[in-house]
Structure 1
């Protein structure tokens, strides 16, 4: 088999005669969505590049939610193992998602799972304390994602209300998952979410 032919000559040979080469971009030149697509096909170089790009901010975001380095390391390992195994499930931008958002959703849920496991055997992990002087990157992302008056209203929310919105809106967690992540009763999460909505309505009235 010589592949597709044109006028009796192999297409690949015609390409060489014309000085045309089929060039594949190096992983570092591809965006994250394309890297995930390649990972789904078992491309280890693409996986390594995806890890190189995303692991630093992934670890940072996890540490902002959990002060236990062992848990952070476990969640990182589980997250990228899941990425390698399930990259084919990524819906992509056609479904309104991004590769970074997809990765973080996996990580956030793995963190919730880790908190649940620890709760059965020991004291729940201590959430990382954030410095009061500077807002976390997630707070800025949450505010700038909507921008304008809504973004300003989000910044003025009480920290405990903004924390719930971060988990439910930015991380895409359910009430139950948010409760586990923050170490709160589900009723408290619902109450704070309701208070946050009321505060937002009043701020924008």
Structure 2
């Protein structure tokens, strides 16, 4: 009896075959997940060459440690963890690079202590985590992610883009679950502010009101 076509098997079935030395099964797993892992690595590292390296390292590491994969999580989640670790390792090696942050968009005013009101009112209601799945918005979101502070970007990518749970995200990044929730909220607010500025109607721009003292 001939072996079934790898393309018709589930990830779990392919993992079992790959653990038994079937390289065709592992190649099919790589084909299925390569683009997604590259996209994740590209969004984390913000560098095409680094993303390619992370993708290659991810699948080499997965193949090398496949016997250690307990299958308590999905193969996709396991790959995400390997790729994120590899990408974080690259980020930690970077020294003295200028960073662009959206922190100022939602940081309290140093004089009043108030969080700035959005400058534009947008004609859309979807949350950033919903917009990530719309092709026409994805490029704008990627641009916004590129400006987001790294600690917020990573949480947003893992939680809202990759769909990991708060617990999984916390474990992967070495944070508390509370910290993950706080950073995720901050990321969503900053992304909403950025997309509002891009998609908002200039005619509905809110001008700051001068304070009148008696």
> Normalising by structure 2, what TM-score?
0.51
**Change beyond 3 A, Cα 1:63–1:175:** same
- 1:57 paired residue number: 36
**Contact 2:38–2:54 (CA<8 Å) still a contact in 1?**
no
**Contact 1:66–1:72 (CA<8 Å) still a contact in 2?**
yes
Gaps of 5+ in 2: 102-121, 133-147, 187-214
- 2:20 paired residue number: 41
Q: Which has the larger radius of gyration?
A: 1
For the residues of structure 1 that align with 2:152 and 2:8, how far apart are their CA atoms? 37
Q: Which structure has more helix as a fraction of its residues?
A: 1
After superposition, the CA RMSD in angstroms is 4.4
Deviations 1:129-156 (A, max 9, x none): xxx99977xx3499xxxxxxxxxxxxxx
Residue-pair matches, total: 143
Residue 192 of structure 1, CA deviation: 7.0
**Change beyond 3 A, Cα 1:168–1:27:** closer
Residue 163 of structure 1, CA deviation: 4.2
For the residues of structure 2 that align with 1:41 and 1:141, how far apart are their CA atoms? 41
For the residues of structure 1 that align with 2:47 and 2:68, how far apart are their CA atoms? 30
> Normalising by structure 1, what TM-score?
0.53
Q: Give the alignment partner of residue 64 of structure 2, picking from 80, 85, 98.
A: 85
